Structure 1
């Protein structure tokens, strides 16, 4: 058996994924004022709702077969190009069938979705081609071609900005159409290129073995994807319905900042997952356990850091609107929920490795139902802050459910679960204690930063060897080039 790739490759990809993710998110934040200045609030909402429809319908049309790519890289190691080509053929064929029905029922869909018929056709046509971009991104990730992966993301981001602004200027009377088309066009054009590229390289459109393999893994992930979407959105809808638009605005403001933490956790996950699959396939559990402990501590470090700076960060984001500053109390539980999500993804990776996706779907669906019940009970009693804590509770529940599935059903002990749950518990206590220091006043603020500095200092001391190794690596690789 081949050995798992060396850690330097994982470290390099992790660093670059993080830099790229931050840059792309920064570009989105910087361009938001441009979009809001060119669009009315109604047009802005119309354009963003269209994107939500894409995300929702894409879960069905792509059949969630993208989740099969990581494991397929191992099972079809010498035929991976064939698999990717056939995978694309499967999802595009189904999406095309859906497109035909959309054309037939275009008037009804237009009335139901509140968009013109041409935009309905554009939406479903886009879903036939756009998944090829994600397939290429995933292929590059699992082949450790992180530079190409990042380049695709950067080109898509830059193209979206350019085409959105250009087309909004052309569609003066209906600028929301320009914004919609500007968002879709770069991905659609790149999708055509990658569709042809994957097909030429793999030379497979239909293969019974590949299609059955992809569907066996992908179909159970459809309820999983819907459940995660509900977990991310239902609290916002319920806060608006129960507490009103003002409370909803505060909740979304704090929630949006807290989830910036996912930029870092997702980047770490992108670099880690291919290495994890390769390492587990050769039985390298001890190294996985050792590396995963360090990543757990890194996640805790980042979370406490986010929680510490939250009040000042929200002040910077809304310097003239002090009413928004109270949203800092939303940040703590949502950030901790993001940490729990980061943790439970480790167990999801194991479930995907063993191709037990129905377990993933059951756990996610259960958490979504529990989240709805908790919101129904606590939001009317305690207001929008309760929604943040129910989000945390739901993600911790998901963490436990995935742990139980891996430990009890799959009988896999690849992780030190006691260490992970202890880290989650201590991070929760630390985060809540920092939140107690969110009160106004210079003295309280200084004490909060001193307290956080001590916590983070302990983390740095515990991992001083790894920090020194990382520092030396960055200096050698990027600061001392000849």
Structure 2
């Protein structure tokens, strides 16, 4: 026992010593991944809780609210943290950063107030259009007011590698959101379940938003800078149709299913999206982690290893996607009651859509860095319009499952467009080394699309499905050296 204890102590010491020797960037990356895993766990646990606490139609209404909130957040904040604030942190000198930061927050506050006034004047008409009561629409603005503060603070902490505070806030916010939601549903909103769940989100967003806004503006001079307002609006006005189109693309399915079929069908469809949030959280974490690194590589003209790192990340994200596609029946049984089971057929296209959103998000980093925001607008608007047209044509004929496939088609379109656009922007700025491996991307994409059709067919044939999964695992085992080398490259960079 003493020998065993001694060995454990030595291993613990070696681990702690190795951890302390890691550069701050590596420590931050490790903790960002850990926080994502924890967030994934919280999200995964709460989905089955809320699908069982809430009636299907109430769960559908709640998801419609989330969709509209994302759309109106774009209008009410312009999403300055996605581009302008990134430029402030990477390109501005220290002297100008504070003024630019406070100016962007003030501009976001002004835009949200303008949105609130529109809701106040035309709330009844808007309520008819979107299917939510006017009082809920007004409360939505309360949530939107504090979204920029949370987003700005998160982006700033990622750039400064302050992983401890970011991990704490992310996890505690997710836990508070879930706990308060359960408390409200079980004690105060037994009948109006959707409203209770919405209230819990708004309260948590406001509390954290006020606290983080205070941190951001502490010891800063509050003054309106027209110069930075003009610069931010010039940069983001072309991005507004782009970002808004992406939100419509992501949310039009639920809105149109709710309108054309009903809230119960929306709930069934939303369950598959609730599972996809697991992959999306990891995907977002990866994008947030590599964005500062790619910005730095482009700034310092050191892009030699970007392709290898991206290949490794593509393999990781595609493997994670394939796991959820392969085990969709089992996953749906875990996260929802039996009456949600037919949602398994939404899982493959929804999950693979997440892979293509990862693709276009990585490509768009290049466009954002070089501030080529005008060039992406047409593609985003086209994808959103295409999605609405396909939904209007296919949902009444084939039901809510068709919406998952129309969304996948549109995300493939966006990924292809942004790939060629990113390549063009790099050539314009004399970057001769390719950052993305076109053959690798095409191969993985085709494999996932073939897997989609295969697993859709095999969901009713359990033995054949598991045989197919074993074959895939054997291929991975045979090619393990290749995958291990890719992981080593990612870890090193």
- TM category, shorter: 0.7 to 0.9
Q: Distance in 2 between matches of 1:173 and 1:376?
A: 32
Q: Does residue 84 in structure 1 map to residue 104 in structure 2?
A: no
Query: What is the match of residue 284 of structure 1?
Result: 302
After alignment, is 427-436 or 109-118 more displaced?
A: 109-118
Quote the Cα distance in structure 1 between the aligned partners of 2:488 and 2:425: 40
CA distance in structure 2 between the partners assigned to 1:432 and 1:36 by the alignment: 26
Cα distance in 1 for residues equivalent to 2:192 and 2:29: 41
Q: Deviations over 1:161-187 (max 9, x none)?
A: 344445553567766554333221222
1:150 to 2:163 alignment: no
- Give how far 1:462 is off: 0.8
Pair 1:207 & 2:213 matched: no
Displacement, 1:211? 1.8
2:329 equivalent among 305, 308, 311: 311
Deviations 1:430-452 (A, max 9, x none): 52474276254554133112112
For 2:359 and 2:190, the matched residues in 1 are separated by 47
Distance 1:105 1:380 in 2: 30
Q: Distance in 1 between matches of 2:117 and 2:402?
A: 44
Q: 1:373 aligns with which of 389, 398, 401?
A: 389
> After alignment, is 105-114 or 128-137 more displaced?
105-114
| Contact in 2 for aligned 1:437/1:448 (Cα 8 Å) | no
User: How many residues of Structure 1 are paired with residues of Structure 2 in the alignment?
Assistant: 465
The root-mean-square deviation of aligned C-alpha atoms, in Å, is 3.6
Query: How far is the alpha carbon of 1:342 from its aligned partner?
Result: 0.8
Q: Output aligned runs, 1:409-420, within 5 Å.
A: 411=427, 414-420=434-440
Residue from 298, 320, 333 that aligns with 2:316: 298
Matches within 5 A, 1:65-144: 65-67=80-82, 68-78=84-94, 79-100=96-117, 102-103=119-120, 119-144=136-161
1:161 to 166, 173, 178: 178
In structure 2, relative to structure 1, the CA distance for the partners of 1:72 and 1:109 (3 Å cut) is same
TM-score, normalised via structure 1 length: 0.82
> What pairs with 1:366-445 in structure 2 (closer than 5 Å)?
366-376=382-392, 378-379=394-395, 384-408=400-424, 411=427, 414-428=434-448, 430-432=450-452, 434-435=454-455, 438-441=458-461, 443-445=463-465
C-alpha distance in 2 between matches for 1:253 and 1:33: 9
Gaps of 5+ in 2: 1-20
Q: Deviations over 1:125-174 (max 9, x none)?
A: 44333321111111112222232222221222222234444555356776
After superposition, give the CA deviation of every residue in 1:433-475 in whole Å (9 maximum; x if it has no partner).
Answer: 742762545541331121120233355321223546889x9xx
Q: Please state how far the C-alpha of 1:407 moved relative to its aligned partner.
A: 2.5
Q: How does 1:28-39 map to 2 (within 5 A)?
A: 28-32=43-47, 35=50
Instruction: Provide the residue aligned with 1:464 in structure 2.
Output: 484
The unaligned stretches of length 5 or more in structure 1 are 1-5, 474-482
Question: Aligned partners of 2:126, 2:253: CA distance in 1, in Å?
Answer: 27
**What's the offset of the Cα at 1:376?**
4.6
Shift of 1:351: 0.6
